[in-house]
Amino acid sequence: MINDVLYRKWVHATTEQTILQLIVPNDWKQDILEMLHNDLQSGHLGIHKTTARVQNRFYWLGYKQVVMTHLQNCIVCNSRKRSSTRSKSKMKQYNVGAPLERVAMDLVGPFPLSYRGNRYVLVVSDYFTKWAEGYPLPEMKAHTVADSFIKKIICRFGIPRQIHTDQGGQFESKLFKEFCETLRIHKTRTTAFPQSDGLVERLNRSLEDIISKYVCKNQRLGRAATLGLNGISFI
């Protein structure tokens, strides 16, 4: 009991950190789930991450089952369910030792046209730090992608040693190859199975789901991309 508020002391099995969980009245349960799952900053993530969010702050008897039921009945999540029959190939792991040693670039979209005329998101992720950022674009031509990468990444963080992309036309274009050669960036690309790159595949799948669930209603692609990336990393 702290300031007349009842808490439960819980020790995290992995981190061994002691966490005070607020004991939740029945009337609060739905509001908490709306906040931790349905809110734009929460991103409609899956059962494991939503359960972890509840567990790190709140407690009520049977909360895991309540979370599962809430997600199973979520209209937005059900509308974005994917087929389980997908092409698979072995996931690759890349050993890197420093930030900007290897970064991945990919385009996600098209999405419904935003208020600012954007339909795509350029996603850039660092293999060492796992840090990712997304930038809305009106189209996905090579010069637009390169210009955004220079302004948003190189001018802020520096020039990466290696860029990894898929086989998209903008990344295979003469302009983009000359861009990499001029800055002495070693460029690599995926095989015929983009799913083989675990970092990019997981990030893009999650980001596309989160953005798609909100951009039709809010028409704010830039904000959806930013909050979507926050939602992926936040537990």
Interatomic CA distance for residues 156 and 153, integer angstroms: 5
What is the tens place of the pLDDT at every residue in 116-173? 888 888 989 898 988 888 888 999 999 999 999 999 999 999 999 999 998 889 999 9
Q: Find the farthest-apart pair of alpha carbons in the chain and give their distance in angstroms, rounded.
A: 67
- Is 72 found in the same domain as 114? no
Same domain, 228 and 116: yes
Total domains present in the chain = 2
Predicted pLDDT of residue 87: 47
3-state secondary structure of 88: coil
The pLDDT tens digits of the residues spanning 172-194 come to: 999 999 999 999 999 998 765 55
Q: Identify the CATH number of the domain in which residue 33 sits.
A: 1.10.340.70
Question: Residue 229 sits in which domain range?
Answer: 103-233
Query: Are 131 and 96 contacting, i.e. CB atoms less than 8 angstroms apart?
Result: no
53 shares its domain with 158:
no
Comparing 1-5, 28-32, 225-229, which segment has the lowest mean pLDDT? 225-229
Structure confidence at residue 228 (pLDDT): 46
Nearest-angstrom CA–CA distance, 206 and 198: 12
Domain holding 151: CATH number? 3.30.420.10
Model-level pTM greater than 0.75?
A: no
DSSP string across 169-187: HHHHSHHHHHHHHHTT-EE
Q: Please check whether residues 50 and 125 belong to one and the same domain.
A: no
In a domain, 146, yes or no: yes
Which pLDDT does position 81 carry in this prediction?
61
User: Residue 158: which region, alpha, beta or left (left: phi > 0; alpha: psi -120 to 50)?
Assistant: left
Q: Which one is predicted more confidently, 217 or 43?
A: 43
What band does 232 get if pLDDT is binned at 50, 70 and 90? very low
Neighbouring residues of 211: CB distance < 8 A, sequence distance ≥ 6: 108, 111, 121, 221, 224, 225, 228
